[in-house]
Structure 1
């Protein structure tokens, strides 16, 4: 067979083969379950939903999606859940936020290979799976709670048990500003950053070693950076989102900085390469 004809036959075969479906792994401690694209799109609870102001696409988007809680059978409200993306992003969320939501509802958006979503910033893909929220304002859902390129969801022990080096002084009262700031840190920062070398995320730098940002940035500049990273350093490829007052109140920002200042005196765990 002439070489050109063989190449044409191979090309025709490639077009004839179905696109390989993506897989989402959900592991809640009773054995991992694998959900494939075509299985999810064929479920009886799949819906077309509209997100008026999508966090990643910065505009209205329409998705085929299933209620996320429907995929979390066996999870308890007290569980912590880790959402891991293929790009290294890792977001930890309390299961109760999804299982017993009041106002906001989490959905797993599923990209149909026959109708791919547009790219987000810098040509990056959001699919094949993406956690989106309807009415996110009701529960003050932050941008870090919209993980895209999702690959795995798994149950976790509490962060303080898994990563003891991120915990503040145990002698502190539960209602102290530092402990409140620790909760804010876990919700807003821990999805992208480690602290004292501990954490699942690999996107952002460590926030305590070798230096804590409270040690090298004036407080007003650090506050401005958290609110709008591009206001301090313009970097088109930057991944850090800004946290507006809806995602992070002034009181929560105060508590977060109080926690970071406290942890600057509790460095541990990370050696320079």
Structure 2
């Protein structure tokens, strides 16, 4: 009896993986692909990722160039990759369409060869995972490696969708640079002034901005290594190393947060 239950559980897992579906919601129309369809896509190939952001080791995937799934998208467009847990990575289309430098791939988990779990007791990065070859060539952030992706969608630029995120018109160039870094590294998890699409992490301005309660150098330390200040089993915020945010960029990001602490808006509703 126990053996039968185990077999049924394994069969259920396999069927769940086979039922994985990825959608591209674009201005030209919406299209969906099953795991099987993508594994057998004409442009699918085996790729090697030397330093996988999520698995922290070399990985091998069956993958399709993401640009092959973005019919009608041009370099000036804006896209967002959405994961099943509410993580929402903002991505300039130019990055995803590039044929030189960093190249974006949609990795597909094969039900017959499932990927390892991301951690003990956790699921894998599948059934779909946006990965990059040669990521350093285009300064790809760890937040631009969304796993458990369910869809990619074409949207207006962040500035148009969420004016509550905008710094004042006379803000310094440091603050403006920090706003760009916030979009790249923070918006996938956090909202600010209630603005954003992510349902993953807390708002960074309402009710309090982190620059209001982290004193001294603690905010920098927290961004670099969150668990050096707050350690708990469910912690999910990654640290941002010097390779991801150098000292100047970290100061720019903090300058944007300090600026936005003076521009609080009530959350929608």
- Same fold? TM cut 0.5: yes
Q: Is this contact kept in 2: 1:26–1:33, CA < 8 A?
A: yes
Tell me the alpha carbon deviations over residues 110-169 of structure 1, each in whole angstroms, 9 at most, x when there is no partner. Answer: 001111111002413210000011111111211100000100100110111111111101
* Residues 15, 155 of structure 1: alpha-carbon distance in 2 compared, 3 angstrom cutoff: closer
Alignment correspondent of 2:113: 115
Unaligned runs of 5+ in 2: none
Alignment correspondent of 2:185: 188
Q: Is this contact kept in 1: 2:78–2:155, CA < 8 A?
A: yes
Tell me the alpha carbon deviations over residues 212-240 of structure 1, each in whole angstroms, 9 at most, x when there is no partner. Answer: 00000024111111111111112232111
Alignment correspondent of 1:260: 257
Aligned mates of 1:102, 1:222 — CA distance in 2: 36
Unaligned runs of 5+ in 1: none
Alignment correspondent of 1:209: 206
Alignment correspondent of 1:246: 243
Aligned mates of 2:91, 2:167 — CA distance in 1: 20
Q: Is this contact kept in 1: 2:52–2:58, CA < 8 A?
A: yes
* Residues 101, 183 of structure 1: alpha-carbon distance in 2 compared, 3 angstrom cutoff: farther
Counterparts of residues 216-231 of structure 1 (less than 5 Å)? 216-231=213-228
Alignment correspondent of 2:42: 44
Alignment correspondent of 1:152: 151
Aligned mates of 1:73, 1:219 — CA distance in 2: 49
Alignment correspondent of 1:124: 123
Q: Is this contact kept in 2: 1:144–1:188, CA < 8 A?
A: yes
Runs of 4+ aligned structure 1 residues displaced above 4 Å come to: none
TM-score scaled by length of structure 2: 0.91
Residue 266 of structure 1 aligns to a residue whose secondary structure is coil
Q: Is this contact kept in 1: 2:23–2:31, CA < 8 A?
A: yes
- The match for 1:21 among 12, 16, 19 is 19
TM-score scaled by length of structure 1: 0.90
Aligned mates of 2:85, 2:11 — CA distance in 1: 28
Aligned mates of 2:268, 2:53 — CA distance in 1: 36
Tell me the alpha carbon deviations over residues 251-271 of structure 1, each in whole angstroms, 9 at most, x when there is no partner. Answer: 111110110000000001228
Alignment correspondent of 1:66: 64
Task: Give yes or no for the alignment of 1:83 onto 2:120.
Answer: no
* Residues 101, 236 of structure 1: alpha-carbon distance in 2 compared, 3 angstrom cutoff: farther
RMSD between aligned residues? 2.1
Q: Alignment length, in residue pairs? A: 261
Measure how far apart 1:15 and its partner are. Answer: 5.2
Task: Give yes or no for the alignment of 1:269 onto 2:250.
Answer: no
Between 1:98-107 and 1:176-185, the stretch displaced more is 98-107
Residue 78 of structure 1 aligns to a residue whose secondary structure is coil
